[in-house]
Chain A
Amino acid sequence: MRNGLLIDYEFCTGCQSCEVACQKEHGFEAGTWGIRVLDEGPWEVDAKTMNWNKIPTPTTLCDLCAERTEKGKLPSCVHHCLAAVMKYGPIDELVKEMDKKPNQVMFVPGPYICK
Chain B
Amino acid sequence: MKLFKGQGTADLGKPWRYEEDGLTVTRGCAWSPPGCHPVGCGIKTYVNSAGELVRIEGDENHPVTGGRLCVRCLTMRDYVYNPDRVLYPMKRAREDRGKNRWERITWDEAFDTIAEKVAYYKENYGAESILMQGGTGREGGPMLPAYAQAALGTPNASQPLSGYSCYIPRVAGTTYVTGVAYPEMDYAGGLPGRYDDPEFTLPELIVFWGKDPLPTNGDGLFGHAAIDMMRRGSKLMSIDPRVNWVSTRADWHLRLRPGTDAALGMAMLNVIISEDLYDHDFVDKWCYGFEQLAERVKEMPPQKAAEITGVDAGFIREAARVYAAAKPAQIAWGLAIDMKSNGMQAGHCILALEAITGNLDVPGGQLVGDVNDGLELGFGWNELGPELQGKILGLKRYPAMVSFVLNAHCDMVLDTLETGEPCQFKMAGFEDCNGLAGTDCAQPQRWHDAYQNLEWCFGIDVWLTPTIQATCELFLPLSSTVEHDSVVYSHYGASPITMGAINKSITVGEGKGDAEIMYEIGRRCMPINFGRFANFYEFLEYYRLNGKTTFEELREEVVHQKTETLSYRKYETGKLRPDGMPGFNTPTGRVELYSTMFRQFGVDPLPFYEEPQLSPVSTPEKMEEYPFVLTTGARTYCYFHSEGKQIPYLREINPDPLIEINPKDALKLGVSDGQWVRVSNPFGSCVLKAKVTQTVYPGLVMAQHGFWFPEQDGEEPHLYDVWRSNINLLMPHFYVGELGFGAPYKCLICKVEPIEESYDTDMQAIWNRYSQLVVPE
Contacts and interface: CB of A to CB of B under 8 A. Distances in A.
User: Is chain B a partner of chain A in the same complex?
Assistant: yes
Interface of A: 1, 3, 10-11, 13-17, 19-21, 23-24, 29-31, 41-44, 48, 50-52, 54, 71-74, 76, 78-84, 86-90, 93-94, 97
Given A17-B74, A31-B652, A80 B1 contact: no
Interface stretch (B245-253, B260-268, B358-366, B605-613): B245-253
Given A30-B649, A31-B767, 5 more contacts: A50-B253, A73-B10, A80-B58, A80-B69, A93-B2
B637 A15 contact: yes
Contacts of A76: 57
Contact of A15 (B3, B77, B214): B214
B2 A89 contact: yes
Contacts of B105: none
A19 to B, nearest CB: 8
Given A41-B248, A42-B694, A73-B10, A11 B1 contact: no
Contact of A24 (B74, B247, B651, B771): B74
Contacts of B231: 11
12 contacts: A14-B245, A16-B653, A21-B74, A24-B75, A30-B652, A30-B766, A50-B243, A74-B7, A76-B57, A79-B8, A80-B58, A93-B2
Interface of chain A: mostly helix, strand, loop or mixed: mixed
Nearest to A81: B68
Given A29-B767, A30-B767, A42-B693, A15 B71 contact: yes
Contact of B3 (A54, A72, A90): A90
B454 interface: no
B330 to A, nearest CB: 19
Interface string B380-411: 00000000000000000000000000000000
Contact of B243 (A11, A42, A78): A42
Interface in B730-776: 763, 766-767, 771
Best-surrounded residue of A52, A80, A81 (most CB of chain B within 10 A) = A80
Contacts of B253: 48, 50
Given A11-B231, A50-B694, A94 B243 contact: no
Interface stretch (B222-230, B425-433, B592-600): B222-230
A94 to B, nearest CB: 7
A17 B648 contact: no
Contacts of B224: 13, 15, 82-84
B234 interface: no
Interface in B688-723: 693-695
Contacts, number: 141
A30 B771 contact: yes
Best-surrounded residue of B10, B228, B771 (most CB of chain A within 10 A) = B10
A84 B68 contact: yes
A93 B652 CA distance: 36
A92 to B, nearest CB: 10
A13 B763 CA distance: 25
B243 A87 contact: no
Interface string B647-658: 011111100000
Contact of A80 (B4, B67, B693): B67
Contacts of B142: none
Contacts of A24: 55-56, 74-75, 77, 649
A13 to B, nearest CB: 6
Question: Contact residue range for chain B?
Answer: 35 or more
B245 A16 contact: no
Contacts of A3: 1
A3 B71 CA distance: 26
B22 interface: no
Contacts of B627: none
A26 to B, nearest CB: 12
A13 B8 CA distance: 20
Contacts of B77: 24
A41 B224 CA distance: 21
Contacts of A50: 243, 247-248, 253, 694
B70 interface: yes
Contact of A17 (B3, B6, B70, B248): B70
Listed from nearest, the 4 A-B pairs whose CB atoms lie closest are: A89-B3, A30-B648, A87-B5, A74-B8
Given A13-B246, A52-B243, A82 B4 contact: no
Interface string B53-65: 0011110100000
B68 A54 contact: no
A21 B248 CA distance: 26
A93 B74 contact: no
Contacts of A44: 694
Contacts of A82: 68-70, 214, 224, 227
Interface in B197-252: 214-215, 224, 227-228, 230-231, 243, 245-249
Contacts of B55: 24
A42 B695 contact: yes
Contacts of A90: 1, 3
A22 B71 CA distance: 11
A87 B69 CA distance: 16
A75 B230 CA distance: 25
A87 B4 contact: yes
Contact of B8 (A1, A11, A73, A93): A73
A97 B5 CA distance: 11
A72 B346 CA distance: 51
A33 to B, nearest CB: 10
Nearest to B56: A24
Given A21-B69, A80-B58, A13 B245 contact: yes
A72 B763 contact: no
Interface string B2-19: 111111101000000000
Interface in B648-673: 648-653
Nearest to A90: B1
Nearest to B217: A82
Given A72-B10, A82-B70, A42 B248 contact: yes
Nearest to A37: B653
Interface in B141-186: none
B7 A84 contact: yes
A80 B243 contact: no
Nearest to B5: A87
A14 B636 CA distance: 11
Contact of A11 (B4, B249, B766): B249
B3 A11 contact: no
Contacts of B5: 78, 84, 86-89
B246 A74 contact: no
Interface in B43-57: 55-57
Contacts of B650: 20
Contacts of A93: 1-3
Nearest to A71: B10
B6 A84 contact: yes
B57 A79 contact: yes
B623 to A, nearest CB: 24
Contacts of B652: 30-31
B763 A74 contact: no
Nearest to B60: A79
